[in-house]
A and B are shown apart, each in its own frame.
Chain A
Amino acid sequence: MMKNINLVKSKTIVLFGLLIVFNFGCERDLTDQAVPATFPNTADIYTDNPVGLTDEFFISFDPAGGANTGAFDTDDNEAYEGTSSIRIDVPASNDPDGNFVGGIFKDRGEGRDLTGYDALTFWAKGSVTGTLSQVGFGTDFEDDRYPASRSDIQLTTNWKKYIVPIPDPSKLVQEKGMFLFSAGGFDILGDGPNGNEIGWIFWLDEIRFEKLGTNLTVGAEIFEGQEIMRDEFIDTAFGVSGVAHTVNLGSTGENISMNLSAAYFDYESSNPSVADVNADGDVEVIGLSGTTTITASLEGFGANGSLTVTSNGIFPHAPIPAQNATNVVSLFSDSYTNVPVRHYNGFFLPFQTTQGGAGADPNNVDLQVPYPDGSPDNIINYTALNFVSIGMYESVPNVDVSAATHLHVDIFVREDIEPGDFIRLEMESGTFSGPTASGSFLLNSTALMDNMNEDGWTVLDIPLSSFSGNIDFTSLGQLFFISDGTISDIWVDNVYYYNE
């Protein structure tokens, strides 16, 4: 019995085998297409002529940003090897045509496969011992996905070879950004960058990618090497920052610091169901709860630094205001048209420590979390709070809230509320417009807790008559949040006056 069964199976296999062969025979084109596309691995960028670069050869940085587009040329009287080199006449810092030179060389085709190389190398010499601000590759003015560069390379007045390591060559399967450089005037007086730098010349030759085999990664970090902890909500997205790469060059023994794209690193999330990280280092919180740690490596070298993200689930939006807009004067709310403000944080140094609330645009503050319908919910996040004001004075008119009966404000205290914690709301009238007067209303820890809804927001509707002092509500200049440091981290939303 067993033998028979085996025999049947064998026959079946043979038939399948024939079918497969036939199928392959028919779909030859598909099979050919399945081979991954490869791109030329041309190493040379400039020898005596540009090699495989775009017709414009040199693509300058934006002249509107100060780049001098007339500083680039080739020179048949100078060469490290062969007959020609690239000559850059670096402008003086007071040159009306632009005070620096810089730009890129770009592959004229679909990009090159640089996976077989480990460094960009070039020869350079200066008319003086000037400094190249930046030299690198990976910038193509299209995707700019893999920029990598060295900063501040001081040239000598004789030809010398320079090396820019490729952080992870395996990423560069189709790279168009062949070369990038920038340089500014020569600081002949050595008195720092102050506008008196003079013009100078440098020459570049024999620019190419090479496989040196002598570069060694001795340092790599993300988040500046720190172990960052963040509490986030679902759908929040942010990027890996603070990346660094230190390479020991075998040829000189020196350690050099690379500027590089976060996309060179390989990322791992210890629990991808909480937060996922893509190849570019973009993190997105996707889980309703849980904790994950994002780590990275560079060509197998474990990077210092990590990000531990805890998902706190769905974002707890503050209650959507129900007051009729005609009865409202709003300082900060997505539900109403806001009056213009001078600031959401005046950064009053030296006494104020409070961070967050920068600027005067209610649609561009600290947090912007979409409502389920996709419209944005902007929220101010004050941290290191001791005091802070929303200011309506100087560059904007004082606000007339004399028709209102109440102040509404939603506050989310982002820490445990201890006995003794408080937030004092204080208003000032007449700011920059006349005699000032002020008055306040104290929210002690009990008041903060008693008015907290189930999502954690302390929802406040305070009669203006409850404020002390003799505030002139026709010319309101500032609304202060004062904790004297008892509470340091708060979200603030829906700050408006209304008439009940």
Chain B
Amino acid sequence: MKQRKFLNTIIAFSFLVGGTLLVTNCEVDETQKVANLTNLVMSDEFDVDGAPDPDLWGYDLGDGTAQGLPAGWGNNELQVYTDSPDNVSVENGLLVITARQVGANQYTSARLTTQVNFDQQYGRFEARMRLPLGKGIWPAFWLLGNDCDENPWPQCGEIDVMEYLGDAPTVIFGSAHGPGYNGGDSISKEYDLGNDRFDTGFHVFGIEWGPDFINYYVDGDLYQQITPEITAEEAIEKDGITNPGEWVFNRPFYIIMNIAVGGDLPGAPNADTVFPQRMFVDYVRVYN
């Protein structure tokens, strides 16, 4: 339903702009400007082999219990995050996050975060990545509001620039989570690559974020816009509490990159899932 409403918005917009645009309206990259912000604020090109730059990246470690979450990071995920070179390293100009099987139903992986060293309100967040493969493999490039300690999730907001399930290698999805729209009810849209796969080559995943919009893109295609009007449609009243569908994307957010294994969304790995699985990141860049 949400996606259909969004599509209608786009079509209505096209009508407003005029007939000539209508003709080429399906050729997204010719009629829509994907990214407007070009002033580079921060980037990691992963050019130095070894551990990722400690002045930018930190780690979320363990199974989530140290962070006050139920084991499995609140999603029944199966991996334990480490900062070991077995799970995270920079090699040949790429950040490599590796998910490994270390026993029956036991996995290790890594989750990098800029929580301590970098956050920004608004701008363009972009990464060029090659994704892993297999049922139960759940990588992500995402942002969290930097005040989750004071305003517990989902009030602090979450912007998922890219999520992907390893048993659907042609599809990624971009989402936003906030009060009234979170977890399985987030505002989300899929992008299908069509005649290619995300695990066989590099692709650029990004958002451009302003006071009243988040635009999601893959390579040259803008495929989703989320606005306060859209989050407002999520307003619900339940158990006497009114949830306004509040637009919470008005604070600095920091970057997270990880591979989860198993969990409620992807399901567990199956016999066809090969380990180790690796996610390669060519760069992370932030503009304003």
List residues of A whose CB falls within 8 A of some B CB.
Answer: 211-214, 216, 218, 248, 250-251, 253-255
Q: Which residue of chain A has its CB nearest to the CB of B195?
A: A213
A216 with B197: CB separation less than 8 A: yes
Q: How does the 8 Å CB contact mask read for B154-172 relative to A, with 1 for contact and 0 for none?
A: 0000000000011111100
Beyond A250-B170, A251-B170, is A216–B133 a contact (Cβ under 8 Å)? yes
B168 with A214: CB separation less than 8 A: no
Q: Which residue of chain B has its CB nearest to the CB of A246?
A: B272
Chain A residues within an 8 Å CB radius of B128? none
Chain B residues within an 8 Å CB radius of A253? 135, 165-169
Q: Which 8 A-B pairs have the closest CB atoms?
A: A253-B167, A213-B195, A255-B272, A250-B170, A250-B197, A250-B169, A253-B168, A213-B196
In the bound assembly, the distance between CA atoms of A193 and B197 in angstroms comes to 39
Q: Which residue of chain A has its CB nearest to the CB of B170?
A: A250
A214 with B274: CB separation less than 8 A: no
Chain A residues within an 8 Å CB radius of B193? 214
Chain A residues within an 8 Å CB radius of B133? 216, 218, 248
Beyond A216-B200, A255-B272, is A248–B195 a contact (Cβ under 8 Å)? no
In the bound assembly, the distance between CA atoms of A253 and B170 in angstroms comes to 9
In the bound assembly, the distance between CA atoms of A250 and B168 in angstroms comes to 6
Minimum CB–CB distance for A302 against chain B, Å: 15
What bracket does the count of chain B residues touching chain A fall in? Answer: 10 to 19
Chain A residues within an 8 Å CB radius of B282? none
Chain A residues within an 8 Å CB radius of B167? 253-254
In the bound assembly, the distance between CA atoms of A152 and B254 in angstroms comes to 49
A214 with B196: CB separation less than 8 A: yes
In the bound assembly, the distance between CA atoms of A218 and B133 in angstroms comes to 10
Q: How does the 8 Å CB contact mask read for B189-228 relative to A, with 1 for contact and 0 for none?
A: 0000111110110000000000000000000000000000
In the bound assembly, the distance between CA atoms of A212 and B169 in angstroms comes to 13
Chain A residues within an 8 Å CB radius of B200? 216
Minimum CB–CB distance for B115 against chain A, Å: 32
In the bound assembly, the distance between CA atoms of A253 and B199 in angstroms comes to 11
Q: How does the 8 Å CB contact mask read for B139-166 relative to A, with 1 for contact and 0 for none?
A: 0000000000000000000000000011
B169 with A216: CB separation less than 8 A: yes
Chain B residues within an 8 Å CB radius of A212? 195
List residues of B whose CB falls within 8 A of some A CB.
Answer: 133, 135, 165-170, 193-197, 199-200, 272, 274
B166 with A214: CB separation less than 8 A: no
Chain B residues within an 8 Å CB radius of A218? 133, 274
Q: Which residue of chain B has its CB nearest to the CB of A211?
A: B195
In the bound assembly, the distance between CA atoms of A213 and B133 in angstroms comes to 16
Chain A residues within an 8 Å CB radius of B166? 253
Q: Which residue of chain A has its CB nearest to the CB of B133?
A: A248
Q: What are some 24 contacts across the A-B interface (CB < 8 A)?
A: A211-B195, A212-B195, A213-B194, A213-B195, A213-B196, A213-B197, A214-B195, A214-B196, A214-B197, A216-B133, A216-B169, A216-B197, A216-B200, A218-B133, A218-B274, A248-B133, A248-B169, A250-B169, A250-B170, A250-B197, A251-B170, A253-B135, A253-B167, A253-B168
Chain A residues within an 8 Å CB radius of B135? 253
B199 with A214: CB separation less than 8 A: no
Minimum CB–CB distance for A215 against chain B, Å: 9
In the bound assembly, the distance between CA atoms of A250 and B193 in angstroms comes to 10
Minimum CB–CB distance for A498 against chain B, Å: 62
Beyond A250-B170, A253-B166, is A216–B195 a contact (Cβ under 8 Å)? no
Minimum CB–CB distance for B188 against chain A, Å: 19
In the bound assembly, the distance between CA atoms of A216 and B135 in angstroms comes to 15
Q: Which residue of chain B has its CB nearest to the CB of A213?
A: B195
Minimum CB–CB distance for B133 against chain A, Å: 7
In the bound assembly, the distance between CA atoms of A398 and B269 in angstroms comes to 64
Minimum CB–CB distance for B169 against chain A, Å: 5
Chain B residues within an 8 Å CB radius of A255? 272
Chain B residues within an 8 Å CB radius of A250? 169-170, 197
In the bound assembly, the distance between CA atoms of A218 and B272 in angstroms comes to 10
Max chain A Cβ within 10 angstroms of own Cβ: one of B165, B170, B199, B274: B170
In the bound assembly, the distance between CA atoms of A214 and B193 in angstroms comes to 9
Beyond A248-B133, A250-B197, is A214–B272 a contact (Cβ under 8 Å)? no
In the bound assembly, the distance between CA atoms of A260 and B165 in angstroms comes to 30
Minimum CB–CB distance for B187 against chain A, Å: 24
A216 with B170: CB separation less than 8 A: no
Chain A residues within an 8 Å CB radius of B274? 218
In the bound assembly, the distance between CA atoms of A251 and B168 in angstroms comes to 7
Q: Which residue of chain B has its CB nearest to the CB of A251?
A: B170
Chain A residues within an 8 Å CB radius of B196? 213-214
Chain A residues within an 8 Å CB radius of B197? 213-214, 216, 250
Minimum CB–CB distance for B134 against chain A, Å: 8
In the bound assembly, the distance between CA atoms of A96 and B168 in angstroms comes to 45
In the bound assembly, the distance between CA atoms of A248 and B199 in angstroms comes to 11
Q: Which residue of chain A has its CB nearest to the CB of B166?
A: A253
Chain A residues within an 8 Å CB radius of B165? 253
Apart from A248-B169, A253-B169, A254-B167, list 19 A-B contacts with CB within 8 A.
A213-B194, A213-B195, A213-B197, A214-B169, A214-B170, A214-B193, A214-B195, A216-B133, A216-B169, A216-B197, A216-B199, A216-B200, A218-B274, A248-B133, A251-B170, A253-B135, A253-B166, A253-B167, A254-B272
Q: Which residue of chain A has its CB nearest to the CB of B168?
A: A253
Q: Which residue of chain A has its CB nearest to the CB of B273?
A: A255
Minimum CB–CB distance for B228 against chain A, Å: 35
Chain B residues within an 8 Å CB radius of A248? 133, 169, 272
In the bound assembly, the distance between CA atoms of A250 and B199 in angstroms comes to 10
In the bound assembly, the distance between CA atoms of A214 and B133 in angstroms comes to 13
